[in-house]
Structure 1
Amino acid sequence: MTVEPPPWNTFVAGDNLDVLPALPPGSVDLVYIDPPYNTGNDFAYADDIRGVDGASRHQAWVAMMRPRLVAAREVLADTGAIFVSIDDNEAAYLRLLMDEVYGEQNLLAQVVVNLNPKGRQLGKGFATNHEYLLVYARDARRCVLDASTSDTVDERDFPLAGPDGRRFRHLPLRNTNKKFNPATARTLHFPVWGDPVGGAVRTAPFEGAVEVLPVFGDGTPAVWRWSRPRIDERPDDLVCRTIKGVRGERVDVFQKDWLHRDTPGGRRKKLRTIWMAEEVGSTDTAVAELKEVLGHVFESPKPTGLILRILQTMPANARVLDFFAGSGTTGHAVALANAADGGTRTCLSVNSTEPTRVGSNAQLAGYATVADITRARLRAVAERVGGGFEELPPLSSSPAPDPRRPTSA
């Protein structure tokens, strides 16, 4: 009996409110969704709020989203996270709803995403060129999300090189934050000895060394970032230098901060909360990506670069779920990420069988439903990138297989 790995991409056509309860609890590590933005057109997922008298569009949208977000929380692992794209139309309502369902304490970030650098020129008012990405943990204390990336690390920030060619920069060993001082971090205020000519640093006196105490630029006492034991463990990563400060020359100690491109995963840099189009792509690049695979059949897909950045925050074997799959960008990005780094991510995409708009490019191209677009893209991705594709029958209330469980053949 041979055990085959699960396909990178699995697809289910149907209403996500039917599919989500059928998934095993805790079976997903990462959820990304790009739900309908409630911008004036009726959204397909109306559920039982169609007959609610006097319900505003905002109330109707929240009523549509709440049970889906609750169901998504049930299938999310305790260590997992959910990312939700939204625009100004429902951003405030979504933030309150996410606080209600996931807990305000589990908010990780509200990211601004610059998806339209030129700005929308139609209509009155400002040329909006951003959307939002709300990020919540299932449990912030246990979440494994790493809010960093290697993409924004610039080698030019590391201008120095060691004998072996490894690049580094100098960072002050003293803590530059005045909140940390001899009164608040007493054990980190101590003298070290350094040779400003040879550069050596030790915690005990040696020939040619001078005593160095941590001080701020204005001469007031500071503290080191490293403890005595850590300095003793890594003396070669420190250097003593004479520098010119505002009060004249003084001797100080610096850390050699290595680029470390040769380590697994490479050096990473903390993600900021504004993501620019040149970093993650734009609506224009997303349209071009989809056009290359299927043609111009979807008006506002998300760029794979956006999803790739999200995927970088989670382990390379993450089980991914997108239950508003749209054109299939999430599954496409999962395949690209696995092909690039050898990961074993899997993605379950769910999309409704909502009919495509009469006279639209999608309908004219032969796609009768939005699900047809998702299916076609994921199949094309499997052919081009690899990883396989499987379509599951519409899920019932009985639990579905775990998206990561291998199948026997």
Structure 2
Amino acid sequence: MIRDILHQNEEAQPTDKTLGLLHRNFPQCFNVEGKFDIAAFRELLNDKVDIIKEGSGFNFLGKNYASLVASMDTTTVLVPDTEHNSKPENANSRNLYISGENLDALKHLVKSYAGKVKCIYIDPPYNTGSDGFVYNDKFKFTAEELEEKLSVSEEQAKRILAMTTRGAASHSAWLTFMMPRLQYAKDLLSDDGVIFISIDDNEQANLKQLCDNVFGEENFVALFPWRKRTAKSDVPFGVSQDYEWILAYARTDKFLAGIDGKNRKYYETEDFPGRPWRIHDMTTQRTALERPNSDFTMVNPKNGNEYPVNPQAVWRITKEGFPQYLKENRIIFPGDYDFLKISKPVLRYWKEDDMRKAGNRFGQCAVSTNLPATVGMSQDGTKDIDSLFNAKIFSFPKPISLIKYLIDGAVEKDKEEPVIILDFFSGSATTAQAVMELNSADDGYNLQYILVQLPEKIKPDTDAYTHGYRTIDMIGQERIRRAAAKIKSETNADIDYGFKHYTIREPNENTLELMERFTPNMVFGDDILQQFGKETVLATYAMRDGYGLTPETELVKFGNYTAYLCGRHLYMIDPEFDIDGDELTELVDKYNKDHSFTADTVVIFGYSFYFSQIDAIKKNLSAITDRSRINIDIRY
């Protein structure tokens, strides 16, 4: 579990994450020793990709260090808030709220939610010098270790060490802080996903370069100016900073082509090489009375076949415009393509048209001077939360209307599959309230949120402290509860008003010491589980194995022992010193006789069993003949 990760992290290198991606996608470019063959990679790309020999780079002190941090796994665990999660409004909720350091949270989340998040909104620290941002790292390296791992000079290693351990607030420190978080954000986004990042002038230029580096310049969507106030402020040079910025990047061009329609299929055909196209229904819900100029019989000029219109659903185009659509190859008739099973003409849309349309999706924002006034200003965000708490609990949250506007512009209404919205700098939980309001509207969305917030301590001389709040995440959770009650009373909508709560926890020194001195002839699972809790181990394992934080778990008893079935994994966590042949015989019988039993991987919490017991489990499961081999995964 954690000991294995600690040992892996000792060997971690800045390039591990990149090499892992290359190995998954280009295994033929690695030799038998596991080394990357750049010549083979170039040969693979030969005549297919233009390789430039000169280009612009983006470097800063700490860039390699940030890559190293991204390559290291988290040693934390996910502790479920059992009392909260068992309440009726939360027990079946798919929404998640995680209290803890967001980089650790992202490293957990990517194991289950990689490629599944449609929209991310974050409002990170702006590094203004007065917003409290300092980079203070939890990783413990010596200058000598950094020299070796990062291949840098002694002087550079010392500068990086100073920046990451002494509370630096420089541009380099901020970029070092943001880079691994954005790398994991990219991994979490679906191919048609998008990220929105709020920022002000202090780091906007640096953030743009960083996002170009992480997401790719070709996936830049827009830089939206957001007017945060109308009152002028006193600032250097007499310039009032009335605007902030929202930087938007897509995961791939599937977002750009797909935000006006979900799961579009594009075709590439020999008659139009390099021009993917899709089809769209030619009819509309307008009647012949409403649109008389679209009430005509369409004739295929190739064979003379006629296609009369339905007077209750006339053509989308007019009779006068029909010749121009033919000239532009916009109309496809039945029989034009064998693979299209159509009985009436359809419209053709080129992919480049969709991409141009995407640039204007947000009310012409990509080419205008500011977002529309309906998205609200900073004072509106303050009013939103003040009205819920009847007190000034949180300063300058983003307005609900702004977050709703961004989500509405990026997400399609798909009632079948819930769409995941992530905010890992969630603050007062504006995003959660925005999601619930969008879901509760007539013909609303099917959204679920994942929020992450550091339990940052609240200063004693604040109204929030006076009202009993000690950390920011406490405010966020309470806002969700209050907003849910308000929305339910106003709309009575049948939506998910609850959330599951988890806390990220670092093991204490005693636990780490127990793990380090563990040998297969020892058992102290009870000691470890007292530190973690059985539910914590199970939640952390389920996330690691791709089941997320809201999985269905079933108790499986064989003899006196209880294991936990989640999907295709059977977890053996509880210590049981006298597990013997009877229990193992029942387990084997379960596999041989119950064909609905799906577990093809047995995960053993190594601290709970003697070596001899693990060996007996292995031997018994290897004797199962009625199905394919069972994988045994022992974790420490």
Task: Compute the TM-score of the two structures, normalised by the length of structure 1.
Answer: 0.66
Confirm or deny that 1:299 pairs with 2:385: no
Asked if 2 retains the 8 angstrom alpha-carbon contact of 1:28 and 1:76, the reply is yes
SS in 1 for 2:97: strand
Confirm or deny that 1:394 pairs with 2:487: no
Q: 1:76 to 1:289 in 2, by over 3 A?
A: same
**2:106 maps to amino acid:** L
| Match for residue 453 of structure 2 among 351, 360, 364 | 351
SS in 2 for 1:315: coil
Shift of 1:141: 4.2
Alignment of 1:6-25 (within 5 A): 7=93, 9-23=95-109, 24=112, 25=114
Equivalent-residue separation in structure 2 for 1:308 and 1:117 (angstroms): 22
Shift of 1:146: 2.3
SS in 2 for 1:357: coil
Shift of 1:77: 1.6
SS in 2 for 1:51: helix
Confirm or deny that 1:34 pairs with 2:145: no
Aligned CA-pair RMSD: 3.5
SS in 1 for 2:425: coil
Shift of 1:43: 1.8
Equivalent-residue separation in structure 2 for 1:384 and 1:50 (angstroms): 48
Q: 1:19 to 1:61 in 2, by over 3 A?
A: same
Q: Which runs of 5+ in 1 are unaligned?
A: 149-160, 169-198, 205-223, 234-267
Shift of 1:406: 7.2
| Match for residue 227 of structure 1 among 320, 327, 340 | 327
| Match for residue 73 of structure 1 among 186, 192, 217 | 186
Instruction: State the partner residue of 2:173.
Output: 60
**1:347 maps to amino acid:** Y
Instruction: State the partner residue of 2:436.
Output: 335
CA deviation map 1:15-69 (0-9, x unaligned): 1011111112223111110001111133266325783289661111111111111
CA deviation map 1:97-143 (0-9, x unaligned): 11111111111111111121334346652111111111111122465
Shift of 1:226: 5.7
Shift of 1:5: 10
Q: Which runs of 4+ in 1 moved over 4 A?
A: 53-56, 121-124, 141-145, 161-168, 228-233, 395-399, 401-409
Equivalent-residue separation in structure 2 for 1:100 and 1:232 (angstroms): 41
Shift of 1:353: 0.5
Instruction: State the partner residue of 2:514.
Output: none
Q: Which runs of 5+ in 2 are unaligned?
A: 1-89, 139-159, 262-285, 294-317, 334-360, 489-495, 506-539, 555-636
CA deviation map 1:223-259 (0-9, x unaligned): x4663776899xxxxxxxxxxxxxxxxxxxxxxxxxx
Q: 1:301 to 1:144 in 2, by over 3 A?
A: farther
Instruction: State the partner residue of 1:101.
Output: 214
| Match for residue 162 of structure 2 among 40, 44, 51 | 51
Equivalent-residue separation in structure 1 for 2:377 and 2:419 (angstroms): 25
Equivalent-residue separation in structure 2 for 1:226 and 1:380 (angstroms): 57
Confirm or deny that 1:315 pairs with 2:412: yes
Equivalent-residue separation in structure 1 for 2:548 and 2:449 (angstroms): 8
Equivalent-residue separation in structure 2 for 1:5 and 1:275 (angstroms): 42
CA deviation map 1:172-226 (0-9, x unaligned): xxxxxxxxxxxxxxxxxxxxxxxxxxx964879xxxxxxxxxxxxxxxxxxx466
Confirm or deny that 1:325 pairs with 2:411: no
Asked if 1 retains the 8 angstrom alpha-carbon contact of 2:93 and 2:499, the reply is yes
SS in 1 for 2:474: helix
Equivalent-residue separation in structure 1 for 2:292 and 2:396 (angstroms): 42
Equivalent-residue separation in structure 2 for 1:276 and 1:37 (angstroms): 20
Instruction: State the partner residue of 1:195.
Output: none
SS in 2 for 1:368: coil
Higher relative contact order (CA 8 A, sep 6+): 1
Shift of 1:70: 1.1
Equivalent-residue separation in structure 2 for 1:132 and 1:364 (angstroms): 33
Shift of 1:286: 0.9
SS in 1 for 2:223: strand
Identity of aligned residues (%): 30
| Match for residue 372 of structure 1 among 451, 457, 474 | 474
**1:314 maps to amino acid:** V
Q: 1:291 to 1:306 in 2, by over 3 A?
A: same
Shift of 1:365: 2.1
Confirm or deny that 1:82 pairs with 2:195: yes
Equivalent-residue separation in structure 2 for 1:130 and 1:329 (angstroms): 20
Moved more, 35-44 or 281-290: 35-44
SS in 2 for 1:287: helix
Asked if 2 retains the 8 angstrom alpha-carbon contact of 1:27 and 1:403, the reply is no
Equivalent-residue separation in structure 2 for 1:81 and 1:202 (angstroms): 36
Q: 1:5 to 1:368 in 2, by over 3 A?
A: closer
Asked if 1 retains the 8 angstrom alpha-carbon contact of 2:542 and 2:549, the reply is no
Shift of 1:275: 3.7
Alignment of 1:154-233 (within 5 A): 164=289, 201=320, 224=324, 227=327
Tell which structure's C-alpha radius of gyration is larger. 2
Q: 1:307 to 1:8 in 2, by over 3 A?
A: farther
Equivalent-residue separation in structure 1 for 2:100 and 2:213 (angstroms): 26
Task: Give the structure with the higher percent strand.
Answer: 1
Equivalent-residue separation in structure 2 for 1:347 and 1:167 (angstroms): 46
Asked if 2 retains the 8 angstrom alpha-carbon contact of 1:115 and 1:282, the reply is yes
**1:390 maps to amino acid:** F
Asked if 1 retains the 8 angstrom alpha-carbon contact of 2:135 and 2:173, the reply is no
Q: 1:77 to 1:203 in 2, by over 3 A?
A: closer
Equivalent-residue separation in structure 2 for 1:347 and 1:398 (angstroms): 21
Equivalent-residue separation in structure 2 for 1:71 and 1:314 (angstroms): 21
Equivalent-residue separation in structure 2 for 1:167 and 1:382 (angstroms): 48
Asked if 2 retains the 8 angstrom alpha-carbon contact of 1:298 and 1:362, the reply is yes
